[in-house]
Amino acid sequence: MFTKAEVSKMSVEQQEILAQIELSKTRRRQKLLELARGLDWRSRYFPLNILAVFIILLAFYYFLPSRLQNSEVIYLPAGMMCGGVLVFYITRLNRRVDALLELLDFDRQNQDDGNKSKAEKAG
């Protein structure tokens, strides 16, 4: 990290580059926070997946048994749809855990950089 005095001694181009680097770090951290909190678009639309599967199962229940003599045919697609929802849910949880771990590594790395700059100033 740089102090205000060091930044003021830099040329305008160097200050712009430094600002772009800091902005990219902030954006990356913000994106990781959104993923970890479940605020990305995939997590927002996840309840629609469950609703769609429920509506399809409801349609199978009401329309297919009257047309088929063997109503056990419904169980295979219903099980496949429920399994698909389970896979989507596990994938979503895995994505959030990965974002948390990456955020932890990112924060530790930035903290180490801050500690190194403090040690250089003291030494």
Give 9-61 pLDDT, tens digit per residue.
Answer: 888 998 899 999 999 999 999 998 888 888 877 777 777 877 887 888 777 77
Per the structure, the complete domain to which residue 30 belongs is given by 4-122
Q: Using pLDDT thresholds of 50, 70 and 90, give the confidence band for residue 68.
A: low
Q: Structurally, how many domains does the chain consist of?
A: 1
Residue type, position 23, single letter: L
Whole-angstrom distance, CA of residue 96 vs CA of residue 43: 9
> Token match 């169980």: residue?
75
Is the pTM of the predicted complex or chain greater than 0.75? Answer: no
